[in-house]
A and B are shown apart, each in its own frame.
Chain A
């Protein structure tokens, strides 16, 4: 694929991202009626949940690319997996921040151990921070590529296992609390807004991913050229 075609695609993706996010936010703030119990503050749902789902998607993408690397040994998958983890961590931090704001508006506290998704993202944040430590501490080369891929695979397995663990741990602290949320089904307008917001954050992640990947590739290429010149 030629560079110009790649560039024009990246621009198109960025434009679509901007449009989707603007429309999504407009819908979330001006169109959707207030939720019956939570009122206006519930609208952060349309940012928090799509961001969290996007982070999962990034981690899943990273594991998939890691698997591809282990199969094919092709170096490019390493950069792709790394970039996907990078994006996942950014969206993971955003999830923690938006979740924390939500907790503040709902329960008047910045942090709640009862909020499953928030706790899970804290665990994942720690896990994937260690991924960076691992990469920084091993010399670049096939060995590092494979170790990173294996670790990324562990991450995607850890997500459901941790989720289960957090559910179980909740039972220890508050044995009675069980999905008592009133009517979690979304109305049509809520669903549309949610889908647009989710598409927007996914596009944003994709856009950032493409951008970052290009940068990392150029870096790697530059290193090679420099070495070749010596």
Chain B
């Protein structure tokens, strides 16, 4: 599903990724580990198509509409409510039965009560939950998750654990984390950067 050969990416003179070979098969769960600044986020942004390689080749055999990308930032409007944000993305991704799907996700991630509140009033953890809803909204085939546990409390982490457990073996997941132990049981492979 993802194939990289000699993949490299520089920002100006700074080289963040270099000479990386990578193969991710359909329904793999790949953990990307490494210290801060080792290029985990860059690799995910490359796979998502937000960045292009400055060296080597990268092939991602999934249409952009079938990718779910969770970044550091939640990628939602702070001045819109949780519902309005998900409605916007739901329309753009042409999610069938949009309202039901959005309601179901908000319920599952414990945001239903706060659905009509502006994201600006959300705590970091709530924003991360909303970002997860946004990422999962269109039931993507390829999930690119950048530190998905960041900011989540115990309950949120348990929800995400359950979600990933259900997705493993059904979807392809590339997950960047600094704490690989947590997910070792789900992973089909690990890539250590840096």
Contacts and interface: CB of A to CB of B under 8 A. Distances in A.
Interface of A: 73, 75, 139-142, 223-224, 226-228
Contact of B52 (A142, A224, A228): A142
A227 B52 contact: no
A223 B13 contact: yes
A227 B13 contact: yes
B91 interface: no
A142 B54 contact: yes
A226 B13 contact: yes
- The prevalent SS among residues of A at the interface is helix
A139 B54 contact: no
Interface of B: 10-15, 51-52, 54
A139 B11 CA distance: 8
Contacts, number: 23
Contact of B13 (A75, A142, A224): A224
Nearest to A224: B13
B6 to A, nearest CB: 14
A141 B11 contact: yes
Given A73-B52, A142-B52, A142-B54, A227 B15 contact: yes
Nearest to B52: A142
Nearest to A142: B52
B11 A227 contact: no
Nearest to B53: A142
Contacts of B54: 75, 141-142
Contacts of A223: 12-13
Contacts of A224: 13
A141 B14 CA distance: 10
A141 B12 CA distance: 6
Contacts of A228: 15
Contacts of B12: 139-141, 223
A191 B62 CA distance: 61
Contacts of A73: 52
B50 to A, nearest CB: 10
Nearest to B18: A228
A142 B12 CA distance: 9
